[in-house]
Amino acid sequence: MFKGIKWLFIGVMATVLLMATVTAGSATELTMYYPVAVGGPLTSVVDGIVDDFMKKNPDITVKAIYAGNYNDARIKALAALKSGQPAQLSVMFSIDIYEMIEQDAIVAFDDVVETAEEKAWLDSFYPALMENGRTAGKTWGIPFQRSTIVMYYNKDAFRAAGLDPDKPPATWDELVAMGKKLTKPDGSQWGAMIPSTGYPYWMFGALTMQNGQVLMNENGDTTYFDHPSVVEALQFWKDMGEKHRIMPKGTIEWGTLRQNFLEGKTAIMWHSTGNLTAVKENAKFDFGVAMLPASKRRGTPTGGGNFYIFKKTSSAERKAAMRLIKFMTSPENSAEWSMKTGYMGVSPAAYETQKLKDYVKGFPYAAVARDQLQYATAELSTYQTGRVRKGLDDAIQATLTGSKTPEAALKEAQAQADRLLKQYR
Amino acid sequence: MPAAILLIAFTHYPTVATVIDSLFSKATAIRPSRFVGVLNYQRMLDDPIFWKVLANNAWFALGTIPTSIALAILMALFVNRSIPGRSLVRMAYFTPTVLPMIAVANIWLFFYTPDIGLIDQIASWFGFSGHNWLGDPTTVLPAIMVMTVWKEAGFFMIFYLAAMQNIPPELEEASQLEGATRWYYFRRVMFPLLMPTTLFVLVNAVLNSFKLVDHLFVLTKGGPDNASNLLLYYIFETAFSYFETHFAAALTVVLLILLSVMALLQFFLLDKRVHYR
């Protein structure tokens, strides 16, 4: 009994002492929110890098707060901002940029960087990953946890259908032709599946890019939903189910698609690179990963989270935040992060590090996302992004379930987007 | 007094604040919020999605409430008798209620998965081909209703079971002596005696049909094309995905009015018939 109390007392004293030293030793204190979208042990990875940073920079204390998914992180950051106790920096969805600018919540990195070296650092990342972080001639977000869509395919199913397992479809025509061979008439195996719930606009961004058209302009105030190439892309998506019959009709659930693929119900799936580790660990068959096929060109949107620095910060805090961001996106740490999570390394230099080179040598599929980056474009992001995105999601689902034609659905989505965005032009 | 403070702080004040909020426009750093009167409500009338979710919610309520109440009475009747393994059966009926909605939705997500899901696998034994339950706008809402009934009925059963055990056994003996059939006894004696419980359950069921949206986050996110979107989920989307807190406040006011009107109607219309005289 007394022993318990004694230990409790020692514990409390130790904690107090520890806190005292921490506060005394730090000149700058940073609070950082970060989301984890794919679950799993990623929080410990982030916390590990942050601890490492504090060890090397004893004058800065970082409080890294796990804030749920992307939506939660944005809500928490904005709520903290309104309550007057904001964080200094945060990882948030890359497409939140316009909302953050409109709320006057973030500061552009161009206004924070000072030296020529730091300015060069802004250009050290993959340009495709910067697209979602740049608007109005300024850089607002630095890429951190970023992904793209890739094509997973079942090599055993390819062999069984008499196809070359090392030649995944590279064009839409090949996708349809191979899909027909891979689809079994009794419905036990489909040729391909592209998920159309959860993030339909994201998958659609890949199809439209492949058809040579982006979905919005750089300023985030104009969308091109009713462009003929976009309509054609949606028609193709619909045709895969209804005309070519290589994909189930109706919408395809994002959450259960990986299971469908692992159970052999579909020979090909389009999904986030974030699934790479899970597929690698759970596939009972020989699988491959490839770039998405091309219509007029190859293409995929990027996805994921960027670093933002908030406006309500002192210049000392901004400098400290810059040091933290530079540390976390450094080639070494980015490589480490990529290997542990399946997210991409954010700069070419990350792939030049020895450890990531070795990793890619042993597991070449880890580099597919990087190789595809040269064809990548920004993820759909505009002012009023939630509503604009929902309008497009609804149009896609209405088309796939057969209640509207692609032209009518997309025209409606475009009209709605125009109404919402007019005030920003 | 403490109760009053809590009630004012967490119920009355937020309600009033919501009503006031609903009369203002969306605030941005560039354009501060200003008073716009009933503009948010006018916009709501022109919003096709609002009407869609309202209609969905009406169907959802109609589809779930009578079925789950009927099922609850049936189950309660069944476990009110002395059958072997009675407590086990009671527990089995009650299990869905204990499980968290999010967990339940995750389980049902895999039930409904085309081809590999439980439902399609069972259907395939009988020669039916797979159906995309959650991906087809005509079946998505019924599919969600089935899950909700499954989840709710066990909860209501508990109330009916408690009420049935309060009915004096003499009544049944007396009606048997008079030569009444079991159905007649249920219709003229038992069911009227259960009326207070039915009112309570009905109020709860109506509230729940507007309040329960947890499963939408997992199952459909309101899709495809809003075919399974419900009012409260739309409010959540408006407030936290579109950041239109003032429009969301207006939607909330409508939800509040709907719920209060329905609760009042139930109390006043049914109250006369509730008590056995």
Tell me what the mean pLDDT of segment A177-197 comes to.
92
Q: Domain extents for chain B?
A: 47-274
Residue A262: pLDDT over 50? yes
Best residue in B47, B56, B116 for a mutation probing chain A (most A CBs within 10 Å):
B116
Q: Domain extents for chain A?
A: 2-146+303-370, 148-302+378-424
In three-state secondary structure terms, B21 is helix
Neighbours of A277 (CB within 10 A): 16
| In contact, B73 and B193? CB cutoff 8 Å | no
Which pLDDT score, from 0 to 100, does residue A169 have?
96
Which pLDDT score, from 0 to 100, does residue B160 have?
93
Nearest CA in chain B to A416: B47
A134 DSSP β-pair partners = A139
Q: What is the pLDDT of residues B2-36, one digit of tens each?
A: 888 888 888 888 888 888 888 888 776 666 778 88
Query: Domain A148-302+378-424's class?
Result: alpha beta
Which of A22-26, A296-300, B192-196 has the lowest average pLDDT? A22-26
A222 in contact with chain B, both atoms CB, cutoff 8 A: no
Q: Are strands A106-107 and A300-310 parallel, antiparallel or unpaired?
A: antiparallel
Best residue in A188, A196, A197 for a mutation probing chain B (most B CBs within 10 Å):
A197
**How much is the mean pLDDT over chain A?**
89
Q: Is B30 in contact with A104 (Cβ distance < 8 A)?
A: yes
Which pLDDT score, from 0 to 100, does residue A22 have?
47
DSSP line for A188-249: S-EEEE---SSSHHHHHHHHHHHTT--SB-TTSS-B-TTSHHHHHHHHHHHHHHHTS-SS-S
Which pLDDT score, from 0 to 100, does residue A52 have?
93
Tell me what the mean pLDDT of segment A136-141 comes to.
91
Q: What is the pLDDT of residues B232-276, one digit of tens each?
A: 999 998 888 888 888 999 999 999 999 889 888 887 877 776 665
User: Which has the closest alpha carbon to A98: A212, A222, A272?
Assistant: A222
The tally of CA atoms less than 13 A away on the side-chain side of residue B65 is: 19
Q: Is A250 in contact with B224 (Cβ distance < 8 A)?
A: yes
Question: Which chain B residues are Cβ-neighbours of A255 within 8 angstroms?
Answer: 109, 218
Which pLDDT score, from 0 to 100, does residue A7 have?
60
Q: What percent of chain A has pLDDT over 70?
A: 92
Residue A359: pLDDT over 50? yes
Strands (E), A46-189: 60-66, 89-93, 106-107, 134-135, 138-139, 142-154
Count of pairs with CB atoms under 8 A, one residue in A, one in B = 94
Which pLDDT score, from 0 to 100, does residue B28 have?
66
Residue A294: pLDDT over 90? yes
Low-confidence ranges of chain B (pLDDT < 50): none
Full-model pTM: 0.82
Length, in residues, of chain A? 425
Which of A 383-412 lie inside 8 A of B, CB atoms?
A: 384, 386-387, 390, 393-395, 397-398, 400-401, 403
Which pLDDT score, from 0 to 100, does residue A26 have?
46
Residue A63: pLDDT over 60? yes
Q: Is B109 in contact with A256 (Cβ distance < 8 A)?
A: yes
Which pLDDT score, from 0 to 100, does residue A170 have?
95
Which pLDDT score, from 0 to 100, does residue A380 have?
95
A193 to chain B, closest Cα gap in Å: 12
Question: Which chain A residues are Cβ-neighbours of B241 within 8 angstroms?
Answer: 71, 386, 390
Q: The domain at B47-274 falls in which architecture?
A: Orthogonal Bundle (1.10)
Q: What percent of chain A has pLDDT over 90?
A: 62
User: Which has the closest alpha carbon to A379: A77, A70, A68, A73?
Assistant: A70
Cα-Cα-Cα-Cα torsion B122, B128, B131, B137, nearest 10 degrees, comes to -120
Strands (E), A97-160: 106-107, 134-135, 138-139, 142-154
Nearest CA in chain A to B237: A386
Residue A42: pLDDT over 80? no
Residue A5: pLDDT over 70? no
Question: Which chain A residues are Cβ-neighbours of B224 within 8 angstroms?
Answer: 196-197, 250-251, 397-398, 400-401
Which pLDDT score, from 0 to 100, does residue A23 have?
47
Which pLDDT score, from 0 to 100, does residue A86 have?
75
Question: Which chain B residues are Cβ-neighbours of A401 within 8 angstroms?
Answer: 135-137, 224-225, 227
Region label for A68, one of left (φ > 0), alpha (ψ between -120 and 50) or beta (otherwise) = left
Q: Which residue type does B43 have?
A: R
Which pLDDT score, from 0 to 100, does residue A19 have?
52
Interface predicted TM-score (ipTM): 0.75
User: Which CATH number is A2-146+303-370's, of 3.30.360.10, 3.30.460.20, 3.40.190.10, 3.40.228.10?
Assistant: 3.40.190.10
Residue A8: pLDDT over 60? no
Hey, what are A232's tokens?
A: 């054609």
